[in-house]
Structure 1
Amino acid sequence: MKKILLTGSDGQVGQELKQTLTSIGEVIAVNRQQLDLTSPNNIKKVIQEIQPNIIVNSAAYTAVDKAENEADLAFAINGIAPTIIAEEANKIGAFLLHISTDYVFDGGKNTPYLETDVTHPLGVYGQTKLAGEEGIEKKGDRYVILRTAWVYGTEGKGNFVKTMLRLGKDKEQLSIVADQVGSPTWSYDIANTITQILSNLNLTETREIYHFTNSGVASWYDLAIAVFQEAKNLGFPLNIQQVNPIITAEYPTPAKRPHYSVLSGKKTANLLGYNAPYWRDSLKQMLTKLYEK
């Protein structure tokens, strides 16, 4: 039986992976207390002690705006740590699957980004995630880098969908950015896809980048409207009466974000033999699960 080391097990995707990965092996899940990604020695020690066949790195520094002021910490977790994990994986012959982001692109395209497109991150977060990708490509023998985007889930507090539910309960009116476009993606679908990729690939010789998001396109405004419509249908307590679309310039943030960050899922769909679920269908499923909790 394969032994799988899962990092970031308390995160949105990590909590789903704890369940989905059990179908392909024994999962040893570690959180930030058990694996300090800012400590190269700790990373090496944990990997050498566990001796996994597969490492799934779902841990990351994800505070996009805070990263502008915490560049060293973000780089340690997103850039240096994945590189060390790749080196240690080589030493024990383990396969590495690492999660990355749409923020490695600048959003200048108007067609879905391919795995082969030129990267050009706009902010510190994207720069540190790209550094992690480059470190893995340089040091890794066998790996998949899976880029995803606009992640939300039933676990954790810091995702857009749960923030909308909280604000929609307290406020009658909200203004939401309508000129940033991407593909909202349920953490469960990411975890399921990672498990399917690991089941379908030849893990002895793969060195690939894949993209995965839910299918379809939305702005943050579109997503907010969908959240409120689906949540009202389910019976969530909401006071929201009006949602106003605004442009990015009206809601300045420390970090610049790509205006267009839709990722092409064709390569992943070809590998797995099916297309990603439509974002609105997955949103409805997630909200139903959350309502039943």
Structure 2
Amino acid sequence: MSEEASQKALVLGGQSGLLGMSLAEAFAHDGWEVSVTPRPEHWAYDVESLREFFQKESPDLVLNTWAYTQVDLAEDEPEEARRVNKILPGIIGKALKGLDIPLVHYSTDFVFDGKKGTPYLEDDKADAESVYGKTKRDGEKALLDLGLDKLFIIRTAWLFGPKKKNFVKTMLTLCKDRENIGVVHDQVGSPTYTPDLAQYSLALIKTGQYGLYHLANSGRASWCELASEAVRAAGYSCTVNPIPSEDYPQKAQRPAFSVLDTSRFTQATGITPRPWLQAVQEYVYSETAENLSQ
């Protein structure tokens, strides 16, 4: 990808999505013209309608953040999760085929079963256990089967960031008025700050080295450790107590260990993602400052 200021990025889901909004902001700051969409409407599920939309927008790059992300509800709504996470990516790929427009598609650590115990590589078997994870895995496959020349698939995890509800913000809200909370400690993953993910995505795209990548902040944490660090950074006196998953039952099976190895990204860009600890501190400080100014 060249770096001409006149380039245009189309962010599917960039109007209100947690990741989409950060992507739109990062690309705009880098000098790109940015166009965003809301959540997918019925016309987006028709290849010809979507192709006409892409031709009208005439972007130099399409970033797909459209996804069904309600992990537990997906167990009750498997067909809707499949429609958004599997069928729609395939439709996007078919609509772009022959248009010579690169596509960036975002996927998830939930494609893995969490039984490995060491950080997951891109080529490790995707053996999801939840409906959400299975449909996201199938969405990846739908795109790969099309043989697109210019495709990035970026798996990421445990997103938190500005302007939208997320786990860290929820923990801060709970701890503001409580003396203690219990948070699961036996699920370990890769916390990821959406502004960092957006910047790293931009750097990766500029390499033109298409393929499948894992991308997250460096380090690993349990949900309990992530919550504890956020609460500490906010200066709250709330105690975060570790609890096992069995004490916080959820409908969907979560991977017990889903840390992502990002060395392929580093090899392509020369960038080592910064530690999640730094990222969560920055996020909490910015959230606290925003609350104080209101």
CA shift in 2, pair 1:223/1:108, >3 Å: same
The 2-side partners of 1:68 and 1:85 are apart by 24
Q: Are the aligned partners of 2:51 and 2:96 in contact in 1 as well (CA < 8 Å)?
A: no
**Equivalent residues in 2 for 1:1-293, closer than 5 Å:** 1-9=6-14, 10-22=16-28, 23=30, 25-32=32-39, 37-38=44-45, 40=47, 42-139=49-146, 140-157=148-165, 159-202=166-209, 206=210, 208-232=211-235, 238=236, 240=238, 242-293=239-290
Deviation of residue 243 (structure 1)?
2.1
Give the letter for the 1:11 counterpart: G
Over aligned residue pairs, what C-alpha RMSD do you find?
1.7
The 2-side partners of 1:51 and 1:124 are apart by 34
SS in 2 for 1:91: coil
Give the letter for the 2:282 counterpart: Q
SS in 1 for 2:88: helix
Deviation of residue 35 (structure 1)?
7.9
The 2-side partners of 1:73 and 1:131 are apart by 14
SS in 1 for 2:136: helix
CA shift in 2, pair 1:42/1:71, >3 Å: farther
Q: Are the aligned partners of 2:182 and 2:242 in contact in 1 as well (CA < 8 Å)?
A: yes
CA shift in 2, pair 1:19/1:109, >3 Å: same
SS in 1 for 2:206: helix
Provide structure 2 residue ranges, at least 5 long, that are not aligned to the other structure.
1-5
Give the letter for the 2:18 counterpart: Q
SS in 2 for 1:258: coil
Q: Are the aligned partners of 1:44 and 1:84 in contact in 2 as well (CA < 8 Å)?
A: no
CA shift in 2, pair 1:33/1:132, >3 Å: closer
Q: Are the aligned partners of 1:24 and 1:199 in contact in 2 as well (CA < 8 Å)?
A: no
Q: Are the aligned partners of 2:40 and 2:66 in contact in 1 as well (CA < 8 Å)?
A: no
Deviation of residue 24 (structure 1)?
5.6
Residue by residue over 1:51-104, the C-alpha shift from the partner in whole angstroms, topping out at 9 and shown as x without a partner, is 222111122111111111111111111111111111111231110001100000
Deviation of residue 40 (structure 1)?
5.0
Q: Which residue of 2 aligns with 1:235?
A: none
Give the letter for the 1:152 counterpart: F
The 2-side partners of 1:36 and 1:167 are apart by 39
Provide structure 1 residue ranges, at least 5 long, that are not aligned to the other structure.
233-237
Q: Are the aligned partners of 2:158 and 2:189 in contact in 1 as well (CA < 8 Å)?
A: yes
The 1-side partners of 2:26 and 2:223 are apart by 28
Percentage of pairs with the same residue: 37
Deviation of residue 250 (structure 1)?
1.2
Residue by residue over 1:169-223, the C-alpha shift from the partner in whole angstroms, topping out at 9 and shown as x without a partner, is 2322211110000111100111011111111225xxx3x1000111111101111
Give TM-score, length-normalised by structure 2: 0.91
Give the letter for the 1:146 counterpart: I
Deviation of residue 108 (structure 1)?
0.6
Aligned residue pairs: how many?
A: 282
The 2-side partners of 1:97 and 1:35 are apart by 22
